[in-house]
Amino acid sequence: MSSIRHYSDSEEEEEEEVEDQNWDDWEAEEDDATEEQGLNPQLLCLFCDSCYNSCSSLFKHCASAHSFDFHEIKKANKLDFYKCFKLINYIRTQVAADKRWDWGKICCSDKELKNHLLEADKFEESIIPWDDDRYLNPFLQDDALLHRFDEDGDFEDEDDAMSFDSKELAMHLSQFERLKIDEEDISSKYASEHKSPCENGEKEVKFSFDKGANTANPSESLVNGVSDIADGPSAIENTGNRKGTVSCLKIAADEIKNRNKNYFGAYSSFGIHRDMISDKVRTDAYRQALLENPSLLKSAVVMDVGCGTGILSLFAAQAGASRVFAVEASEKMAAIATQIAKDNNLLHNGSSGEGSQHNGVIEVVQGMIEELENADRIQPHSVDVLVSEWMGYCLLYESMLSSVLFARDRWLKPGGAVLPDTATMFVAGFGRGGASISFWENVYGFNMSCIGREVDDNAAGIPIVDVIDSCNIVTTTEVLQSFDLATMQPKQMEFTADVELGPKFDAPLHHPSGSKSTTNWCHGLVLWFETGFTKRFCKEKPVNLSTSPYGPSTHWSQTILTFREPIAMASNVNSEKLTLVGTNDCPAVRIQSRISIVRALQHRSIDISLELTGIGRDGRKRNWPVQIFNLN
């Protein structure tokens, strides 16, 4: 984050009076400091306003100044990466409310808040107060500590590097509640540049404590650990807290509204619709599913969620649907879809009218699907076929799937069809040719690899949406996650999955016994998806829409997650050197990957976390620090 220095008029006058200073040198030093700060974001202490450049310095400060030994608590309670992540957010939440970080008692002074930290006893696993899914949500926006507290990479379990409970973690990452955080509490504890999650207007959380254990108490709720019960002297303070909460929720609603407005506004661009319609893989798949399954579409009532130009609604009308509700949130595109349906004699005019059997079946409904719940024109559970092209980059970006599920539960008949009805995400490892650095190594004969290295460094936290050539896939391909759109629940959009990838060509015929195999370097993972129009509903003509690098390219491309450092892989390793797994001297024979995908604080964005474990031929393991990617 760049820093901008602001000068007042008085400061400018004072600056003119002092002429014996070498201001050029001073400004140069400040520029250097600013640049350094941008490269290494400052780490804010958990208990005060002190900032540090490294985690070791910060935790030493916490131990000496606040008697809080992060590493000792982590060791004593056997905390993995996610529990440490939650611990940090829990402490920030409690300190912001002047509460004891361990069991929720309100402290009367800073001295009391610090003194309680001398009690560093080991918690019973069942009552660790921060072991709650709500603390996977960052309390502070852009909290650099959450990305760097594992710099030492010491979360390795010698017996089983992938020892986390996958069901527990999936629950943590899939059952997020909206954070409700009082902005007044935050602003009183932190400097203005540290924004709370509610300033992005996305998440809210309500929780309560009862003598150390997290309890569900409907009569007593806490906002950031502050009691919401107007009792005695705290009543006035709590009234202010409620006002702050209402204000925060209003900010949240406004932020989401603005992001939705920008999102749907972007789809008012005809260029985007031309790209989508010109995507032959995409459009042909929907056309075949709608036109070549007459038993499904003939005389059916169809709902098209997010109709855009109305192309899918036109296909449905052409296939013989008796009525098509084309729902579109963008005012401009709803008007365009109406005009297109009218120009093709397919617009419903409110009367049965004479004409061809396809005339008058399309009705364009303008508005977000979630806001049409009480629409009189569409009766609940009256739709035979629900169709939508909802997929985003990495399948789940844009979060439109939740709108489809909402429409399914509200308007689809029991046993009605959802098109497509399945979605599957795949993952594989890619080699050097898929990384940015290979392009920049030879640009018309000139070496520009310095650009490639910087691009790859940035890509270690930001996914790249691009086309990967199948020849650059260096590992096996595995299924990451599968969805059944006819039965899935919205919470299943957030998940954690474990996959194990091996070298792409590991059959014995490629590397005879005793021979030394060629080492390939895996530079990252590539994600893609397929959606299926299966025989469950499309009995005459099942269709599969694939964005695989092994098939024709689509406008979705693939989503690329770049490693901080490449991992050497080989299928037949003869080296006896006891060096680090994943290096040229000791290539990994398998890479275990744990991937979590959750909705980000920013509406319609997603966060992807990536854990890697390389396994050598002798069974030795090596863990790499967790990487977090934001697809925004």
Residues noted as catalytic: 389, 398
Backbone angles phi, psi at 151, to 5 degrees: -55, -30
Cα separation, 528 vs 559, in Å, equals 7
Integer-rounded Cα radius of gyration of the chain: 28
- Are 616 and 589 contacting, i.e. CB atoms less than 8 angstroms apart? yes
Cα separation, 496 vs 392, in Å, equals 19
Q: Which sign does the torsion angle of CA 110, 113, 119, 121 carry?
A: negative
358 token code pair: 């396809």
Cα separation, 218 vs 205, in Å, equals 14
Q: Which of 554, 175, 601, 583 is nearest to 399 (CA)?
A: 601
In DSSP terms, 425 is beta-bridged to 481, 529
Cα separation, 133 vs 604, in Å, equals 20
Cα separation, 214 vs 90, in Å, equals 12
Max CA-CA distance within the chain?
91
Parallel, antiparallel or unpaired: strands 422-430 and 43-44: unpaired
The whole-angstrom distance between residue 48's C-alpha and the CA centroid of its chain comes to 30
- Are 496 and 170 contacting, i.e. CB atoms less than 8 angstroms apart? yes
Q: Which sign does the torsion angle of CA 63, 67, 68, 69 carry?
A: positive
- Give the DSSP H/E element, type plus range, for residue 411: helix 401-411
Q: Which of 466, 504, 545 is nearest to 281 (CA)?
A: 545
**SS3 string of 466-508?**
ECCCHHHECECCEEEEEEECCCCCHHHHCEEEEEEECECCCCC
Cα separation, 43 vs 48, in Å, equals 11
Cα separation, 219 vs 226, in Å, equals 14
Q: Which of 546, 558, 391 is nearest to 467 (CA)?
A: 558
On the question of a cis peptide bond just before residue 508, with omega within 30 degrees of 0, the verdict is: no
Cα separation, 114 vs 112, in Å, equals 5
Cα distances (angstroms) measured from residue 606 to each of 231, 323, 338, 597: 41, 35, 33, 7
Residue that is written with structure tokens 């920049």 in the block: 440
Cα separation, 613 vs 599, in Å, equals 25
**SS3 string of 363-384?**
EEEECCHHHCCCCCCCCCCCEE
On the question of a cis peptide bond just before residue 420, with omega within 30 degrees of 0, the verdict is: yes
Cα end-to-end span (Å), the chain:
17
Cα separation, 320 vs 290, in Å, equals 10
Contacts of 324 (CB under 8 A, 6+ apart): 301, 302, 303, 304, 313, 316, 317, 361, 362, 363
